[in-house]
Amino acid sequence: MLDQIPGRFAYGEEHEAFRQSVRAFLQKEGVPHVGQWEKDRLVPKDFWRKAGEIGMLCPTVPEAYGGLGLDFGYNAIVNEEMAYNGVPAGFTLQSDIVCDYIAHYGSEEQKAKWLPRLVSGETITAIAMTEPGTGSDLQAIRTTAKKDGNHYVVNGSKTYITNGQNADLVLVVAKTDPTATPAYKGMSIILVESDREGFKRGRKLDKIGQDAADTSELFFEDVRVPMTNCLGEEGKGFIYLMSQLPQERLSIAVGAQASAQKAFDETVIFTKDRKAFAGVVFDFQNTRFVLADLKARLQVGWAHLDWAIRRHLAGELTPTEGAAAKLWHTELQWDVMDKCLQLHGGAGYMNEYPIARAWRAARVSRIYGGTNEIMKELIGRSL
């Protein structure tokens, strides 16, 4: 259990009390249903609303907008427990990313309308950045939002969009001035409700892992939205996105560390139970040495993660530090997953074992939120 890891210093007693309620909820409402959700390749909306009822969604939202007015540590608790328990709903996107965009840059009208719904789970959100022809190069997007009277007309397509099938509100990154130089000065974030004419959902994308996680294509064909749906100032979208990256990448690091710990814990149990050559797999020196190395690295990981969380709570985590956290913890996650799968032997290759599903799910961590190659580039630029 994550609350039994010795020496952690990121959280206080109230955080840990919150953890217990989150864990109990996930054990009752999430874990027993993950198998069915993986078959459906979708987490039902009622799970979001139930999570909203106990305060799991967007806990940092001020009380004036229906939230609990807590700090990011509560977000991190939710992230840790969901990753450790293998429940794949896209809560962290809503709580750690979209919520903050609206809270920091939204108009009073936008905040009053949307934040209470994000907190309750009544509204599920997505952020649409990536396009079929662009990955990490956000400035190369082609989706446009052209002015027509007091409206924007949005045209374009997006892919790899988390919560795409469930989303009621999509934050669309689009070019409001395609001629701007440099290109980032012409980018804005436009709020598009899913019931707008011309908005279409594409396929539920068939991924190699995280089967229950909703990832989709989205299409915008002459979608008209009022100009009041622009989030913040027109032309500032790229700047807004960049300013929120430390928290987004820290969030990824949190999930990576927790899922790595789960894989390790399950592997210790498995190797002590698995019979081999008149003993058990754990009796082999190689097994103990591999696990000992992983335990030491996980110990270092938790210390660094708590440092990063405390830095972020103090408003001091820099973009470079956020990138480094994402890089280090996702690389650790992958190495732990791969070694733990190996220690499972043939069983590790079977999807009926949790390690197989966890191994597949972990592969994307080094890709989303900016690839780890981009993280190295960002860190390198700071030297």
Residues taking part in catalysis: 248
Q: How far apart are CA 226 and CA 233, in angstroms?
A: 14
Rounded to whole angstroms, the Cα distance separating 332 from 69 reads 33
DSSP notation for 331-356: HHHHHHHHHHHHHTGGGGGSTTSHHH
**Closest to 88 in 3D by CA, of 295, 340, 327, 364:** 364
Task: Judge contact between 215 and 160, C-beta under 8 A.
Answer: yes
Helix/strand/coil for 145: strand
Given a contact cutoff of 8 angstroms between Cβ atoms, the answer to whether 151 and 120 are in contact is: no
The set of residues, in sequence order, having a beta carbon less than 8 Å from that of 133 and lying 6+ positions away, is: 140, 142
169-175 and 125-128: which strand pairing?
A: parallel
